[in-house]
Each structure stands twice: as structure tokens, then as C-alpha cells.
A and B are shown apart, each in its own frame.
Chain A
Amino acid sequence: MENFEPTLLGLIVLLPLVGFLINGAVALFTPGNKGVSTWVGPGVVGLAFLIAVVNFIGMFGAELTAPIVRSYWSWMPVGDLQVDAALQLDQLSILMTLIVTGVGFLIHVFSVGYMKGDPGYARYFAFLNLFVFFMLTLVLGANFPVLFVGWEGVGLCSYLLIGFWFRDREKADAGKKAFIVNRIGDFGLLIAMFMIFAHVGTLDFVGVFAAAPETFVYGGAVVTAIALFLFLGAVGKSAQIPLYVWLPDAMAGPTPVSALIHAATMVTAGVYLIARSSVLFALSPTAMMTVAIVGAVTALFAATIGLVQTDIKKVLAYSTVSQLGFMVVGVGVGAYAAGIFHLMTHAFFKALLFMGAGAVIHAMHHAFHETHQDWDAQDMRNMGGLKRFMPKTWIFMWIGTLAIAGVWPLAGFFSKDEIIWMAAAHAQGPFEVVFTLVWVILFIAAMLTAFYMTRLMILTFHGENRSGPGGRHIHEAPAVMWVPLAILAVLSIVGGWINIPRPISATPILGWIPPWHTEWLHYWLAPVTATADNVFRTRVGELLEVGPFGGGEAFWAAVAFMIAMVIIALTTVWLGKQERKPAVETPPYRGFAKVLYDKWYVDEIYDAVIVRPVVNGSRALWRYVDDGIVDRAANGVGSLARGLGWLGSRLQTGNLNVYALAIVAGALLILLTVVGL
């Protein structure tokens, strides 16, 4: 290893915190002062990004084989438990840092335009900076507790930002729901930490992952339990079945927040956690299978809901859940690099799509505001034909759509197809059938993705405008908003070129990508995932070269590309011909579409099966157990004493003769005991 010294590592994390403090102070004491927030908010994140880039360049040349851990202070030193407030710099964490600060910076810049005119401007940037701070703590933390600080911290910021317009009860509710559901995941992460400490005796990443292969029995119950509890944490944060329900509701927050937190960064924390703990998962085939199944089912399930949603953000939200399912499958089948790869590309194109949607909503909102129309600015049925008014946004969003649909040579093609292929390549060992099934499901989900994204584009940008009188007031977004979109659009195109699978780069047409290293990300992340890969290789075997139904990676990638193109084309033609009306005039869905539109009634089922019983149970506990039994028992003892006292008081007749009699009788008793009969 070269002599690589991280540059200002602590400052990366600290800068957004400083930003938070400044913006927070502004928000509390001079809420009208927007100038400070405009510069400080994006500025600190940009600076952090620059520092991350410097470090990345340094690491690029250094070929690190072990993580660099910087311990700042001893946080929880209790006996054997020694937890430091420490940051860890390695290939995975620098990559995440780059995504968080890079995409984060762009979204901050976009927000300057989007939130202009909001009375909570400074508060918004305070929360956003705080989020970046926690997210960086999460990805840079050198042990589980520090990661957990970030983990819960981003949950907090998500809560605060979803409920940013807290006057609206629905939005506040959504924030609350997100926090509580996330806490279920946090519970899993906590238990996992306890188990790790109980069995390994440390919570430092370096220590745990080094000791894990020797400490745990391969496939044993302990490591499976740990992995599953970790996965529970990931399920909560990365919105997988059954805890995905908070994410669609989370769209109540400002759209840049959805882009940053609920698409690009926070929700991918679960994927990061699994990749980070790859060793533990690799040691438990059962856990890996569970992860893969959950990811695949989520990918398909969310995609089906996305097919019929009319709210532009809801479509993107379910799309995010679906894409997160892809990533989870990636890390679940042991393709950590593929999962992280998709995480990265997804951060680009989903942030792009969300901010594009944000620009659209922004425009629609202003238009409806001008004409005092009481229409939903997010309902795609009220849009249509926007490409005329917002050509830049239109182009950028098409790029994002093609990227997410997996069209060559955009980023999504490489990352998504790698995951799909990896599911097939891992279809061996004890759960061969399962992985095969996962692979098929992912294929279907990918096709659905192409459909619903194309539908979104058609409904929003193509056809006749359905905005009523407001249509005349729709304008293109300002530069501060479209420039970040442009940057992300470029990244959505070229972002995938860093990790072109070897079989594809060897393929004639598909392999044409000029300057980038083949499978670079694999090499880059190899030091992080090496242990896990070793475990897999020794226990299960080398990856397959041929898929379950024959054909190699390049073949299936080509097939997927073709199918995606066909679906996009067909959808464009089919939907382009349909007649549409604004939301108020559209009849509600019927039949199966309604089931999909109502999200398979999962929220209602949860409400009936979990939420209501808990609330009613709580009320019953209070009324009947606490007041009815416990308190009544306590008061009953009091009443009993009072009753006995009442009985005793009957002796106090108030008649002196009786008292005299009692005295005499008592005196006689005493005399008797003294002198005897």
C-alpha cells in the first residue's frame, strides 16, 4: 500500500454540520434572510464534495488494501465495549461519499430555485445540510454504532423534511409514518449490533469483518440471525417489502428532498449496509436467499403499482422502491459491486427524474397558482404536451427514462443488466431454483419499468395539454434548476461506462464504449468485498458463465435491451393514440387497475391488521388494565383500609359507659396476664 493520507477527512462530515448550524440559526432568528442560506447551504456540500474528490484521487493512485480508520474521540468506552467516534475511509465509503456529496450538491443547487419563495427557506437548507451530515456519518462511520447515528439521523431528517410543510396534516402524518416504520428497521439493526457484540466482542467494522469467518459457522443460526436482523434494518431504510409503505407517502416532502433522500441517498443506505456487511451475509446462504427473494418480490410488486399511478411523484416513488429491490437483489446474490453500481447509476438518473418532475411540478404549481385553479399540480392527467413549454426538462427526463429502462449505452443498461445477470450467475448451490426465479422476476420487473416510465413521459410531455387555462402559464425552469439536471443527464449517460461487464465489452456493437475501464468498479471495490467473495467461492463455487436457460451475459443483456426498446416503442405508439382528459373529468379506475391504483390495499391491510389493533389495544390497556385493574387494585387497597377503619370505628359508640366497660375489660385482661387466674 502506498503512503496515502486522507485529506481533511473529518471536514467532509463536519462541513454540512456547520452549514446546518448556520442555516438553523438563520431559520430561527432571521427567517427572512435568504442570502446566507443560498450560499451556505449548497456551499458546504460543494466543499465537502471537493474534499471527497481530492481524497478519491489520492486513493486512486494508492491501491489501498485496508481501510483507513481515523478515530476522533472515544465515544462509548465501557469495559470490553470500546466504541470510538471514528471514520473509515475505504473504496466503498469514498464512493458513497462522492455520490452523497456530488448528487447532494446538485440537488442543493436545484433547491435554490425550487424553494425560492418558500417562507421556510433557511429551515429547509438547515435540514438538508443536516441530512448530508448524517448521511456522511452513515457511510463514513467506522463502526456499527457510528453508522447507526447516521442511520437514525437520516431517518430524523427524512421525518423533518417529509413533514417540512407541517401545517398540512397529511404531510406531517407521512413524516411520522416514515419515522416509525424506519424505527422498526432500526430495531433490527440494534439487535444485530447486540448479537455481533455478544459473539465477536467488538463493533468496529474492521474487527468484526476480520473475525467473522473464523467466529461464525458457515450457515449457522447465529450468523443467519445477525444477517437477517441487519437485513431488517435494510428493509426499513431501503423500503423493501414489508416495510416499503413509508416511501410512497414520503413524497409529501418537497421534491428535491424526494430526489436526494428518497431516491439517491438515504434509501440506498440499506444496500450500503448489506454491501458493508457482505462478509456476514456471505456466511449465511439462507440470509442471502431471503435478501434476494425480498428484493425481487419488491422489485416486481412496486413496479406493478407504478403502472397505473397518476401522481407523477408516486410513479417515481414506486419506481424507486422497485429499483431498490434490484439493488437489494444485487447485494443479496453476492454481487456487491453490481448492487453498489446500480446504487450509483440510480442515484444519477433517479435524482434526475425526480428533479425533472420537480421542475414540472414547480411549473404546474405556478401556472395553477396564476389562474387560481384548484387542480393537483402533481397529477399527470392534468399535464400533457409539456415538451412545448419545457423543452430542456423534456430532453433531460427522456435521458433519465431511457437510462432507467436499461437502454444501451446509458447507465441503467449496464448496472441493471449486471444485477439481472448476477442473479443468474449465482443460481447454483442449495438455492438454485430460487435464484433462477429471482432472475426471471427481475426480467419481468425490468420490462414493467420500461413501460411505466414511458407512460410517465407520454402522459406528462406528449399529446395535447390538459392543464386548462393554466396551460398558458407554464414556463421552463430557471437555469439554477436545469443546469443540475443537465449535469445529471450527462452522468446518467456516461455513469455506467465505468463498469462495463467483460462479456459485453467483448461484444461487437454493445462493447463500443471508448475510454473506460472494463469492470473497473469490481476492481475498485475488490478490497472491500474480497472476504465475502472468498467465502462464496470456497463454499459455493465460481460464478456461472451460462444462464439457467442457456446464453451468456452478453446474450441476455442484448435481449433485455431489445425488449426494453420494443416496450418503449410500443408504449409510445399505444398511449400516444389515446384520448385523455384532466383529472377532474377522468372516471376512476375499475377492476384490477383499481387494485393496482390502490396499491394492492397494503396500507389498508396494515391499518386494519397492525395500526388499528395497536392503537385500540393501547387504549384498552389504558382504560381496562391500567385504570381498570392496576390502579383500581391500588385504590382498592386504600378502600380496604378505609373499610377496615370503618369497621373499627363502629367501636367508637360515643357512649362513655361502653368506653368504661372496654377500659375495665382491657384492664382485667392485662391484670389476668400479669397475675394469672
Chain B
Amino acid sequence: MLTESLVLSGVLFSIGVAGVMIRRNAIILFMCIELMLNAVNLAFIALAQQIGIEGHVFVFFVMTVAAAEAAVGLAIIISIFRLFETVDIRNFNLLRW
């Protein structure tokens, strides 16, 4: 099932990539990122079968980082929402030129 798993991981990753590009809702962008992380996790797990248990450890780390990221990211979204009353990314572009 290795090949299939890897290809599946690629599919999920690409969907995530596409999502980041075509959605404007900050929370959904976030979800797309989570999806990409999971796609990578899948690849780790699949390869771990052949290469070793370290793959699992890495997934563990990825998950923790993802959790931390989600917490901080969502907090940021909340404060942004407080400021702009929306989570549409078109509205917060203070950092442009």
C-alpha cells in the first residue's frame, strides 16, 4: 500500500495547496494548512513501514507543532476579527507596500 499511500498524500497536499490559493476565509486557509500537514504525516507513516519507527516520532512532533500553531493562529484570527469584524483576508492588508 506504500505507493498508494504516498500518492494519496500527494493528492491531499495538492488539494490543500489549491485551497490556500483560492479561498479567502482565513479560517479555511488555516484548515487547508492543517490538511497539508496531515498529508505530510501520511507520507511519514507510510514510509515508516519501510524505514523505521522514527517516522512516527516525527508525526508526533508535527502534531504538537500543529496544535501550537492552531492555538496561536486562531488567537490571532480572533484578535484580527476584533479589529476588522471580518476574517476575509482582503480586509487585512496593512503589510502591503
Contact = CB atoms under 8 A, between A and B. Distances in A.
A650 B97 contact: yes
Nearest to A662: B21
A656 interface: yes
A657 B29 CA distance: 9
Interface string B80-95: 0000000001101111
Contact of B93 (A649, A650, A654, A661): A654
A586 interface: no
A654 B95 contact: yes
Given A655-B89, A656-B29, A656-B89, A664 B94 contact: no
B18 to A, nearest CB: 9
A652 B97 contact: yes
Contact of A653 (B23, B24, B93): B93
A333 B90 CA distance: 97
A657 B22 contact: yes
A660 interface: yes
Contact of A660 (B21, B92, B95, B96): B21
A631 B78 CA distance: 51
A657 B21 contact: yes
B21 A649 contact: no
Nearest to A653: B96
A657 B95 contact: no
A657 B20 contact: yes
Residue of A653, A655, A660, A661 most packed against chain B (CB within 10 A): A660
B6 interface: no
Interface string A628-672: 000000000000000000100110111111001100100000000
Contacts, number: 36
A650 B24 CA distance: 20
Given A655-B89, A655-B90, A656-B29, A661 B21 contact: yes
Contacts of A654: 92-97
Contacts of A646: 97
Contacts of B31: none
Interface residues of A, number: 12
Residue of A649, A657, A664 most packed against chain B (CB within 10 A): A657
B96 A657 contact: no
Residue of B21, B23, B90, B95 most packed against chain A (CB within 10 A): B21
B97 A657 contact: no
Contacts of A652: 95-97
Contacts of A653: 93, 96
A45 B29 CA distance: 99
A641 to B, nearest CB: 16
B17 to A, nearest CB: 6
Nearest to A646: B97
B2 to A, nearest CB: 19
Contacts of A656: 20, 26, 29, 89
Contacts of B17: 660, 664
Nearest to A657: B21
A552 B39 CA distance: 125
Interface string A366-410: 000000000000000000000000000000000000000000000
Contacts of A664: 17, 20-21
A646 B93 CA distance: 17
A655 B89 CA distance: 7
Interface string B1-34: 0000000000000000100111110100100000
Contacts of A657: 20-24, 89
Contacts of B22: 657
A660 B19 CA distance: 10
A656 B95 CA distance: 11
Contacts of A655: 89-90, 93, 96
A634 B90 CA distance: 40
Contacts of B26: 656
Contacts of A661: 21
A660 B17 CA distance: 8
Nearest to B96: A654
B83 to A, nearest CB: 15
Nearest to A667: B17
Nearest to A656: B89
B37 to A, nearest CB: 15
A110 B97 CA distance: 82
B94 to A, nearest CB: 7
A463 to B, nearest CB: 91
Contacts of B96: 652-655
A656 B73 CA distance: 14
27 contacts: A646-B97, A650-B97, A652-B95, A652-B96, A653-B93, A653-B96, A654-B92, A654-B93, A654-B94, A654-B95, A654-B96, A654-B97, A655-B90, A655-B93, A655-B96, A656-B26, A656-B29, A657-B20, A657-B22, A657-B23, A657-B24, A657-B89, A660-B17, A660-B21, A660-B29, A664-B17, A664-B21
Interface of B: 17, 20-24, 26, 29, 89-90, 92-97
Given A655-B93, A656-B29, A660-B17, 9 more contacts: A650-B97, A652-B95, A652-B96, A652-B97, A654-B95, A656-B26, A657-B20, A661-B21, A664-B17
Question: Which 3 residue pairs are nearest across A and B when measured between Cβ atoms?
Answer: A654-B93, A654-B96, A649-B97
